[in-house]
Amino acid sequence: MTLVLFNKPYDVLSQFTDRGSPTTRATLSDFIDAPGVYPAGRLDRDSEGLLLLTDDGRLQARIADPKFKLPKTYWVQVEGVPDDAALAALRTGVSLNDGPTRPAEAERIDAPALWPRVPPIRQRASIPDTWIALTIREGRNRQVRRMTAAVGHPTLRLVRWRVGDWTLDGIASGTWTRA
């Protein structure tokens, strides 16, 4: 069994090929040379961080299928400063257009020491930003971004730091290691 932990950079697709695009976009094949592994779940092109890849179908299902409720922790840079009420709403679950989310763990954190994002996020002198750690146990399309927007704090940068017991600790952006 092979398990690859990859620190996916911003603007990279979570697949090995880019079919149907008139321009060539970066894919996993630009970074990973480990034959036979496939992503266990997805990470949007405009998100960064931990992507797990494996050649084991059962492990892939356990990681990706929401019925297993594997916790995924994101470090999220948001616009503004979420107050206690916004964090409480995230913790109890927020209503989205596809229904309420499950309760999440949410807390303000100090800005993490991360690699620079290319391109950098937009900075607005008149609007502060804050980092929060958000742990969810489901994986709807663009869920974290929709959750922070629902409590009035749009996401500026999104980094998946942890999936289950696996973390990005020690893995530079654009690099991978075997677990």
The domain that contains 62 carries what CATH number?
Answer: 3.30.70.580
CATH number at residue 95: 3.30.70.1560
pTM: 0.94
| 139 and 63 within one domain | no
Kindly report the backbone phi and psi dihedral angles of residue 137, in degrees, each rounded to the nearest multiple of 5, phi listed first.
-125, 30
| 92 and 42 within one domain | no
Q: Domain range holding 83?
A: 71-163
11, 44, 55, 56: which one is catalytic? Answer: 44
Predicted confidence band of residue 19 (pLDDT cuts 50, 70, 90): confident
| 125 and 91 within one domain | yes
User: For residue range 53-109, what is the model confidence (pLDDT) as tens digits?
Assistant: 999 999 998 888 878 889 999 999 999 999 999 999 999 999 999 999 999 999 999
Cα–Cα distance between 103 and 177 in angstroms, integer? 32
| 94 and 34 within one domain | no
| 114 and 79 within one domain | yes
| 80 and 143 within one domain | yes
Which residue type occupies 158?
L
Model pLDDT, residue 84: 97
| 158 and 85 within one domain | yes
Find where tokens 């948001």 sit.
78
| 174 and 127 within one domain | no
| 151 and 100 within one domain | yes
Question: Is-catalytic flag, 44?
Answer: yes
| 117 and 61 within one domain | no
State the total domains in the chain.
2
| 150 and 100 within one domain | yes
